[in-house]
A and B are shown apart, each in its own frame.
Chain A
Amino acid sequence: MKRILIADDSSMARMFIKRCLEISGFQDCEFVEAPNGRVAIELLKEKPVDLVVSDLNMPEMNGEELLKRIKSSPRLHEIPVMIITSVANPKKVEELRALKAFAVLGKPISPATISATLSALQNPPEEKP
């Protein structure tokens, strides 16, 4: 069973992201939730996950710091991190991709957007020889 961590300070946003993921075919996953990056890191220490979906604008530790910590951790750096944020303009997307975010989506999200994004994760394009 896949395990997905959703980090967002809004419980409504976490519910909405979870529902979009379920509609996108991730209904058999185990979802763990964190209200900020600090709690997300604690949860990741306990048990790794297959995917992190995080907001950017959170109290205590924001999503950018969470992304940096995951990507700099020898144990966690391979976990794909998808950022879902209200501040996702092209410049910000570029900055976050440089920090190795797998994808950056602007709110409001829809199941279709999530589904298209995650299908790229499940079926990465074949590298040319």
Chain B
Amino acid sequence: MTTASASICKTVLKAVSETFETMIFTQVAPLGPAGNELPADDKGAFAAIPEQSAPGSLQKNYWTAIPILSPLKGSMLMEIPDPLAIELTKNLYGWVDDSQITEKVKQDALTELINTISGRLMRLLLPEDQTFELGLPELKDGPRELCPEDVVCRFAAAEQNFSFILTDELGAMDTRLKTKD
């Protein structure tokens, strides 16, 4: 993991935290390479590769993606395990139990979350006078193959781990653009 990608992950954490705390009153913590929460004085290190479900694992993971159309081209993806998807959806709707959660409702919640996070993240990364264009968020069938340039940031919320990934030109983006702390 390069210093630049660690710095981007710090900014991703800010965007994810603001979104989760505002919309679903859920706190987010960064994870270290082994999936352990980082000590308080080292919040800048992040894993390079996401923790994949164990082979044969029955746990379903959701992959949501949003294309970034300009000024850089790439995608932002979020991998979320099903139990966390259920928890986030419940919090979003203010529901106490899972009985009202349908697959459609869950997918809608996840796509809106990545839409909000990616917009917030682009605002944090780009200069104020730089407009940007996002595509429509969508649910993916499964993980895409990771490229060396991809930046993978790993977090935990509601006692579940999840990943946020920046691909293509976004993965190569460094702090020369702008990073607000």
Contacts and interface: CB of A to CB of B under 8 A. Distances in A.
B129 A90 contact: yes
B93 A107 contact: no
A109 B22 contact: yes
Contacts of B94: 19
Given A59-B136, A92-B131, A108-B23, A10 B111 contact: yes
A120 to B, nearest CB: 21
A96 B134 CA distance: 17
Interface stretch (B5-13, B44-52, B115-123): B115-123
Given A16-B23, A57-B136, A89-B123, A107 B131 contact: no
A106 interface: yes
Contacts of A57: 115, 134-136
Contacts of A89: 122-123, 126, 128-132
A76 interface: no
Interface residues of B, number: 29
Contacts of A108: 18-19, 22-23, 116, 120
A27 interface: no
Interface stretch (A40-48, A66-74, A80-88): A80-88
Chain A interface residue count: which class?
Answer: 20 to 34
B131 A87 contact: yes
A13 interface: yes
Interface in B1-44: 18-19, 22-23
Give the dominant DSSP class at B's interface. helix
Interface string B99-115: 00000010011011001
A21 B130 CA distance: 30
B112 A10 contact: yes
Contacts of A86: 115-116, 118-120, 134
A9 interface: yes
B92 interface: yes
A127 B120 CA distance: 35
A107 B113 CA distance: 10
10 contacts: A12-B92, A12-B93, A12-B105, A12-B108, A59-B136, A87-B119, A87-B131, A90-B129, A95-B131, A107-B19
Interface of A: 9-13, 15-16, 19, 57, 59, 85-92, 95, 106-110
Rank and list the top 4 A-B pairs by shortest CB-CB distance, nearest first.
A86-B119, A108-B22, A107-B116, A10-B112
